[in-house]
Structure 1
Amino acid sequence: MSIPVPADGTGPRRLHVVACAHGTDNTQGRRLINELREDLAAVLAADGLHAMVHEAYVDVQEPRLEAVLAALPPDEDAIVAPLLLSEGFHSRVDIADAAAARPCTRVSAPVGPDQRLAAVLAHRLAEAGHQPGDAVVLAAAGTRIEAGQRQAARMAELLAAELGHPVAVAFGSAATPSVTEAVGAARAAGAPRVGVASFLLAPGFFHDRLAEAGADYVSTALLPGVTIAKCVAGRLAEALCAGPADTE
């Protein structure tokens, strides 16, 4: 999808894209998220968008989203791009409130669900040793927000279509079943081997816990790869095509 360039009647207005991640203490996870921002900037430039991509977080790391938005020129457009895979508290509350506090600011949707992510997940599973006949559990971080749970379930459906067999959905926290419960259920149903598809952007706390779920193998996180940046750019395009942000 082509991304429109905002205009004020005399030429392109500068657009600030605030690529906002959760934040992590994991060194590799931090590096991969920074690389994702670099990939996003390259994808946007190739699509003709006159934009500046900024770093921001809702937890663990600095700079925090509120501070980044407050430091932007108040008369210039901004859009927050959540580097999050589904709806949750951070997107519905932290990001939404921060964007609402600044004029000329909107928010794009989270990265998933997306068929392109299913292709990446299938590739990661193959790298981890997935074989025909294995049961697969898609492991999402988890949220109490039902929309986020439905999005994770939809992602499991997309991965099932990619693999050609059913995929169960499970959560690292805040929702059920847990990944351990889903792996146990697959074994109880007679699966000879069980693999976990990590529906997480990068290594960190939740990904580390997947090794304790009792599966035969766990795929690596989605990053690195430019596909994720293309998905984020697609969400930005959808938000920008929806119309201008409020200016009051």
Structure 2
Amino acid sequence: MTAPPVLVGCSHGTDSVEGRAVIRSILAAVADARPDLVVREAFVDVQEPAVADVVASAAELGLTAVVVPLLLSVGFHVRVDIAAAVEDRPATAAPPLGPDARLVDVLVDRLTQVGLAPGDTVVLAAAGSTDPAAAVAVEEVAAGLAARLGRPVTVGYGAGSTPRVPDAVAAARAESAGRVVIASYLLAPGYFHDRVLEAGADLVSAPLAPDDRIVAIVLDRYEAAAALLRGSAAGRTPRAG
């Protein structure tokens, strides 16, 4: 029986010890949920091993690989770094984790945990990217969150797009007499979440992970991409006779 593709969970990488532990916990939970899979960790920046090296190592062992971006939206790292890592190799890349309705569910829970009240104004804080598709994906999540909360949700970005999070918080405060609450649309603690904590909001929700729903999204992204990879391999197999 052909071994299933290696699941390569690829995150940005961080200097935050807590952030590293959270990302590692996601992949540990994935491995626990699917003991039949080989699960490997990879990065596009800051940490090692690089995603291209992990995919190459799998190929050297005669294994296929599916890279699941542990990222919430498209952007340079998905379109360039991860795409280059799987190019011309027996591998493919899954879409990023967002947008997904389950991420909205997690955001609602995180806001509830931090004490969101009916009169509060909500700002969704995302890392940001210069890729316009990333902003579209974040706006989709913001719209889903607004529908769930029954109130407007504005967006602020840490980098790449505007408005920046402090500006979005300031605008929300100017328009409302109530508290301003940031919904942290970040996967784990680290540089961007530290900047969100400094953005001037009254309350800031915790990052999304760890959460079993994140694990479920990772596995769903993997399964869909693995099915396409198997179909592609079957299409290259010569017919008998």
TM-score over 0.5 for the alignment?
Answer: yes
Residue aligned with 2:119, SS: coil
1:195 is matched with 181
Does 2:78 correspond to 1:88?
no
Residue aligned with 2:66, SS: strand
Q: Name segments (4+ residues, structure 1) moved above 6 Å.
A: none
Pairing 1:12-27 to 2, within 5 Å after superposition: 12-27=2-17
Does 2:221 correspond to 1:235?
yes
- Compared CA separation, residues 205 and 245, structure 1 to 2 (3 A): farther
Q: Structure 1 unaligned runs (5+)?
A: 1-10
Contact 1:171 1:177 in 2 (8 A): yes
1:37 is matched with 27
Contact 1:43 1:230 in 2 (8 A): no
Deviations 1:31-70 (A, max 9, x none): 110000011123334xxxx420001111001111111112
Does 2:156 correspond to 1:166?
no
Residue aligned with 1:54, SS: strand
More helix by share: 2
2:192 paired residue among 177, 185, 206: 206
2:131 paired residue among 145, 150, 171: 145
Deviations 1:187-214 (A, max 9, x none): 1112411100100011000000012211
Pairing 1:42-191 to 2, within 5 Å after superposition: 42-45=32-35, 50-74=36-60, 75-102=62-89, 104-191=90-177
Hey, what's the Cα distance between the residues in 2 that align with 1:161 and 1:240? 33
Which shifted more, 63-72 or 22-31?
Answer: 63-72
Deviations 1:129-162 (A, max 9, x none): 2100211011010001011110011111111122
Hey, what's the Cα distance between the residues in 1 that align with 2:126 and 2:195? 12
Contact 2:121 2:176 in 1 (8 A): no
Hey, what's the Cα distance between the residues in 1 that align with 2:231 and 2:9? 17
- Compared CA separation, residues 23 and 245, structure 1 to 2 (3 A): farther
Q: Structure 2 unaligned runs (5+)?
A: 237-241
Hey, what's the Cα distance between the residues in 2 that align with 1:183 and 1:215? 6
Residue aligned with 1:72, SS: helix
TM-score normalised over the length of structure 2: 0.91
The one-letter code sitting in structure 2 at the alignment partner of 1:177 is P
Hey, what's the Cα distance between the residues in 1 that align with 2:32 and 2:177? 43
TM-score normalised over the length of structure 1: 0.89
Contact 2:26 2:214 in 1 (8 A): yes
The one-letter code sitting in structure 1 at the alignment partner of 2:72 is L
1:8 is matched with none
- Compared CA separation, residues 18 and 216, structure 1 to 2 (3 A): same
Residue aligned with 1:56, SS: strand
CA RMSD between the two structures: 1.6
Hey, what's the Cα distance between the residues in 1 that align with 2:94 and 2:49? 20
Which shifted more, 113-122 or 73-82?
Answer: 73-82
Hey, what's the Cα distance between the residues in 1 that align with 2:15 and 2:231? 33
